[in-house]
Structure 1
């Protein structure tokens, strides 16, 4: 038996557990093939050896990135426990920092983002196409450069550039609030960095509705980022300090569905506990299934990373 897990999660298991039932079961709704099924935290949001590094002349490295990412996740998990212990809308600075780095990690290790970059590299390359293992190693190298290394040096006396991550920097200048629905009901998706709204200074080049699907502008032009952290808690990170007061559970779930690229999930009892939200979910999944092919670039149809 190998001494390392085969399933490498790009959605943290600790986060998925916050939406599952007490024994870790989830109902999973697939975006592109419109099916649903019961699964478990262990079997959702992962790729087999998805964070493995393949280098010429060496054995595959299954553990280095997994160990580094687990430290970032561990800090974020501690920050969420701090938020759990409070009923305040405010998010303490220390928790903001830990959660900002988790969001940077989630953004960079998005399998959809990796797929899009891999397609672009294959299209533009004048040489023989790289193998899947070579491409994965190259893309994970970017994750190390832009997230893991800066995170590990964030408190060290090194050049600011070596501690810099663009998303963490953007988030530091925004207003953070904790949304806590009394009845729960929040959903989780494969993409927990849910972008929506347009805050750019120039007229948008696409219809405004596209921005609620997380497409259409750079990170600095979105109005808000919503982050489901559990069935009864989410972050609202916005340009407007009053934004969190305008959103409710249904609105947050809609943004979670519209930002999904593979799946959304909830506990087995969720639909019976929240019949109105379940009705909304069916409608939003139908919209996402119809709209997503315009920007998914055949993701999940002809291939994934």
Structure 2
């Protein structure tokens, strides 16, 4: 966590916002210290799989057209400050409660399930649900989801309230106006608390992931290393078709696949290792909004520099994603 003491000028800048529930700030135990709560949208257990013996992985970002690379610990990357703070405050809980009590158990259960999948063990139904649920949650915890709810979600709520207000007696204030006067911030909080859990727990995608055949493909030590995008999961082939498959790098030398049909599985297995890794890494770059991670600084930088043309090319607004995949 980044900590700023009262003596620094940044405190004066944000002093007026001290009580704002949207900031995700909390008062420290001593001397009025401010602690900026980090909310990870990329699970730390996944990032740790790229770490070296010193506990760090390579974090890549495009800055002014150039690839910047830095070795970081998982705790200090793949997060935003106060990402879920409005939701937490609307529910009357601590700013880090959602990460610790909601997403953390999802990730912990998924880590256990993934270890069993890698060992090719027979997994229980609970493990299967945990892993499918985790896969489904990866898109929903991205920062643009909350941004979508603050805009499109608010518009949806306004329309709903306006329809109900048609039955109000003449001269009464609209529900929106009344809420803004007596409970400022409540409408935005409602937009987040009503639809975020529904999307994270979306049955359609979770059940589809659960029906796939899950398997892991490992590569030899001398093979090129896999990269991880800030949207780790990738899928192709049409969700409701037998050509549908999902892929997610789970370590520098391993990929998780979920395939709907044996034909797709056979095609993936027939691709030479180096070419498959190249395709998966290009897909990771194409889905990256802000950051990419890897295990080897020089190899990762060289690949990204060679493939700058695809970075972010598959990133789509969450609204378009929601229209197609969320009931």
Asked if Structure 1 and Structure 2 have the same fold, meaning a TM-score greater than 0.5 normalized by the shorter chain, the answer is yes
CA distance in 1, matches of 2:210, 2:113: 16
Partner of 1:75: 109
Per-residue displacement from partner, 1:11-46 (whole Å, max 9, x unpaired)? 111111111222232322225754423133111111
CA spacing shift, 1:122–1:144, aligned 2, 3 Å: closer
SS, match of residue 18 in structure 1: helix
SS, match of residue 80 in structure 2: strand
TM-score (norm 1): 0.67
User: How far off its partner does 1:5 sit?
Assistant: 7.7
TM-score (norm 2): 0.63
CA distance in 2, matches of 1:252, 1:136: 38
Per-residue displacement from partner, 1:75-94 (whole Å, max 9, x unpaired)? 1111222244x2x5x88465
Give the structure with higher Rg (CA). 2
Q: Structure 1 residues 74-83 or 25-34, which shifts more?
A: 25-34
Q: Please, which of 275, 286, 290 is the counterpart of residue 309 of structure 2?
A: 286
CA distance in 2, matches of 1:24, 1:140: 35
Q: Structure 1 residues 250-259 or 20-29, which shifts more?
A: 20-29
CA distance in 1, matches of 2:57, 2:141: 22
Q: Which has the higher contact order (CA 8 A, sep 6+)?
A: 1
CA spacing shift, 1:27–1:182, aligned 2, 3 Å: same
Partner of 2:59: 28
CA distance in 2, matches of 1:287, 1:99: 29
User: Is 1:105–2:137 an aligned residue pair?
Assistant: yes
CA distance in 2, matches of 1:188, 1:132: 36
**Structure 1 unmatched runs, 5+:** 149-163, 200-218, 298-305
SS, match of residue 54 in structure 2: coil
Partner of 1:192: 232
SS, match of residue 248 in structure 2: strand
Partner of 1:265: 293
Per-residue displacement from partner, 1:214-250 (whole Å, max 9, x unpaired)? xxxxx44683211111112221112332244145222
Partner of 2:216: 178
